Structure formats: C-alpha cells, structure tokens
Chain A
Amino acid sequence: YGRIPAAPAVRRLLREHELTLDEVPGTGKQGRVLKDDVQRYLDAGGKA
C-alpha cells in the first residue's frame, strides 16, 4: 500500500531537497528516518 512509512514533515523535507528515504540513515524505531536525521544529513553536507 503505496507510501513510505515516514512522517509527513520528513517526506516534505526530503522532497524539498530532492532526496530519497534510502539516502538518509534513520535512527527511529526499526530504522525509521526522523526529521532530525534528515536535518543532520543536510547539515553534514549530504553525507551519511
């Protein structure tokens, strides 16, 4: 059933930066990508 299991704000942040969920390491429950994770990834210049 369609969508990636990430919160709406995470999906939006990924979209705005043309990233996919696979690129960002997640620290949430069962490896879920959190908004913090995306922010940290972006702050590090797009490196995991």
Chain B
Amino acid sequence: MADKFDVIVIGAGPGGYVAAIRAAQLGLKTACVEKWIGKEEKKVVHGGTCLNVGCIPSKALLEASHKFVEAKHDFDDMGIQAGDVTMDVKKMMARKDKIVKNLTGGISGLFKANGVTAIDGTGKVTGAKQVEVTDLDGKATTYEADNIVIAAGSVPVEIPPTPMTEGLIVDSTGALEFEDVPKRLGVIGAGVIGLELGSVWSRLGSDVTVLEAMDSFLPMVDGAIAKETQKLLKKQGLDIQLGARVTGSEVKGKEVVVKYTDAKGEQELTFDRLIVCVGRKPYTKGVVADGVSVELDERGFIHVDDQCRTSVPSVFAIGDCVRGPMLAHKASEEGIMVADIIAGHKAEMNYDAIPSVIYTFPEVAWVGLTEEDAKAKGIEVKTGSFPFAASGRAMANNATEGQAKIIADAETDRVLGMHIVGQHAGEMIAQGVIALEFGSSAEDLALTCYAHPTMSEAVHEAALAVEGHAIHMANRKKRK
C-alpha cells in the first residue's frame, strides 16, 4: 500500500486541478491523478480538455483569425493600408501550442507551490476510500484517501453516419490542428463549439456550411439575441442550415460527401474536411470499479446531489461528468465547493448565476433566465434593450453590431437575466452575474455610474430602458 491522502482527485482539468489546489490550501493532504499525454513531449500534462484542446486553444485561434479578418477587411475604413495581408497557419498554430504549453506547465507549478502531489496515470475508484492508479508503464498502485473527487471530464460525441477519418472527418480536437485552410469545410452541429470552429476557418478563407439537426438556432439563448446572432454570422459567411439531419457520409479520396435530409428532402454536399461537433458526453467508463456503488444515470453522468456528493458519501464528482452545463468555470466552482465541504465548511454553489459565452465575433454572452424561460415559468417580466449601434464607444471600435438586453421581474424589479451580443460581451456579462448574485434590481444598475465611453454603457442603458428611461435612444415603452 502506497501513501495515504486526505483527498485524491481524479482528473486535472478545470474541475480537478482547482479542487486539488483549494483542498491543499485548506490544509488537506492532496493528490491529483492525471493521464493526459501532452502533444509534444510524451509526458503527462495538467489542465484537461479546457487547456489542452478546448477553451484556451480555440480562443487563441479565434483571436488570431479575427485580427486577420480585421486587417483584411476593416483596416481600410480606418485609413490603414496594410497591403496584401496573409496568414501563416503553421505559425498561428505554433503560437497556440506555446500558450497551451505555458498554461499547462503553470498548473504543474501551482501544484508544487501548493503542495499537491501529482500522480501520473489512470485513476480508478476501487473502494469507498481507495484509488488504483495504473501508470504509463501499466504498473498499478493503490492509494488510500478519506475523500475522493472524480473530475474525469468529457469527450466528443461521435455519430455513426460520420465515423472519424484521420485528417478528413475530425472532432473539435482535430479542427484545432489543421495545417492548412480547407477550401470547403463542413461542420455538423451549430452549437457553441461548431460556431466557434466554423468562425475560425471561415475567417481564414474556408467556405463553411454548418449542418444543424434542430430547427431552432441556439435554443438556450434568449430569442431576440439568438435571432440577431444568426443574422450576423450569416452575414460573415457561415452558411447555417437548420433542420438538417445528417444520414451518412462517404470518403472519396481527399473529399467527404455528406448526405443529409432537410425540409426539402434528401441533400448531399461535398467537403474537403468535416468537423463533427454535435455534443460532448461524460467520460465515466472505467472510472469506477464494479462493486463500488457510485451510481450513474442513463446518460452516463455520475449521479450527484446539490453538493456534488455521489451515492458513496466519501466520493464526490464534479465538472462535465455530472449534471449541469459543461463549462470550465462551472467545474472549477464545483471543485472549490467540494474542497470546502471536505474541509468542514458548509459550502454551496449558485447554479442560477453561471454565465455562458460564445466567442464568435461579436461575442454572445448570457446569464440567468431568457425571456422565453421566464414566460415558461409563468413569471411576469419587463425587459430593456439597447443596441450597440447607438453606442459611441462601439462606433469608435468599429463594433456597432449587437445589443444588450436585461430581463427583470415585473413586480420586484429584480434582475433575472442579462443577454448580450456584441464585442466583449463575455467581459460585460460579469455585470449580470454580479447583479444576479447580489439580487440587484434593474434600478440598481440604472442608478450606477458607468464610465464613458465604454461598451458597458449599453448595459446601463438597457437597465434604464426597463422603465422606458433610456437616455441615448427613443424609448418604445410608456414612461411612468
């Protein structure tokens, strides 16, 4: 029997590594098990999906490709003559890889600084207080721990009509590794990942078609915001086909023919590359040994209560392998909550105030209820919106697309949701999260002094517009 720990965390993604650091900070003897092998050197890297093949690399490519588009199409308006702007895809990728390497190495450094023991290998819960780790050479070691945190994460969903084909049909990870710009690019799935990856390659010159099985676009987003986003992305050249169900594919040499059905019947399109991003599923297979009564639900998620406790009291599970939105910051907050609980605190997390961001240009960000959610719940609301077209800062920034929208309870004026499509929406939405956390009213935001000129003033004006008192636009509503 090897070392005994207070806490063993399985997985070093945003859920696991944050849980491990927090637990160590609270004085618990903590280990974190990870099996992810890095891209360059054949050794274990920390950071999970988010750092290695998710949030961070996709943002690096989104930023680079956006700057390219700006230089190519928008600089001229500002009087900047940049000549013939070109993109060196290999160099863009190398920059992304360097950022990933820096950050994953940074986590290993934080583990050392906080006294977290990093264990390389594949972890498996073999008892209520026992974890078996199989190292890279296949040697198994069993560790004892008073508490176990499963943070095993998720993997892309594969669908039978489009089996992965090296370099041709890829998942999100493969789409972050293209070495050149595919001329015709197909994307299956118009969710967050599909829109972001489609945007990157469309900006660099790909002819992008996004096939989405559902009839509605971004159904989780407020209706008015989703509608405007769809229009903006279409204008940028993303051909988004809704109600398009993929039925099959055929690889012909270096091309892939995709068959799908839509309202008009059977269709066929030929692409040079195809990205499948229809969703992600919890990675829970083999994480818990037979005979340990950690329950899974029918979709493979580990069953947990509000405190992320599994059916075994000493075992917790967090992040993408449990219920709730599959977002890095959700996983991390659960990690902090669980570490606090293990250390004896009465921790809780607020699932009503988790922001979501789509890093297209303009960005889409939201928190809380949509107008449609409120209606479905029978809550009477008042709303206020403000378009960036009326914002001085947006004009100066050459970013006048989009709007900010606030949903408030009609009776109490409490802010129930904030929804923004616009440049820096992901940064601005923090205001909505704070408003929800503090239970603030739309009036609270309206009475707050916002810096001028800033994009955030659109939130201020939207709050004023809730009562029909926006200053910088004609109000539609009757004033009180």
Contacts and interface: CB of A to CB of B under 8 A. Distances in A.
Contacts of A7: 437-439
A3 B352 contact: yes
A8 B414 contact: no
A3 B345 contact: no
Contacts of B10: none
A2 B352 contact: yes
Interface in A1-48: 1-8, 11-12, 15-16, 18
A37 to B, nearest CB: 15
- B interface bracket (residues with beta carbon within 8 Å of A): 10 to 19
A8 B437 contact: yes
Contact of B348 (A2, A6, A11, A18): A11
A12 B352 CA distance: 16
A9 to B, nearest CB: 10
B204 to A, nearest CB: 42
Contacts of B438: 5, 7-8
Contacts of A6: 439
B439 A4 contact: yes
B372 interface: no
B195 interface: no
A5 B346 CA distance: 19
Contacts of A5: 414, 438-440
B439 to A, nearest CB: 3
B478 to A, nearest CB: 25
B345 A16 contact: yes
29 contacts: A1-B352, A1-B369, A1-B377, A1-B379, A1-B414, A1-B416, A2-B352, A3-B350, A3-B352, A3-B439, A4-B439, A5-B438, A5-B439, A5-B440, A6-B439, A7-B437, A7-B438, A7-B439, A8-B350, A8-B437, A8-B438, A11-B348, A12-B347, A12-B348, A15-B347, A15-B348, A16-B345, A16-B346, A18-B346
Given A1-B352, A7-B439, A15-B348, 15 more contacts: A1-B377, A1-B379, A3-B439, A4-B439, A5-B414, A5-B438, A5-B439, A7-B438, A8-B350, A8-B437, A8-B438, A11-B348, A15-B347, A16-B346, A18-B346
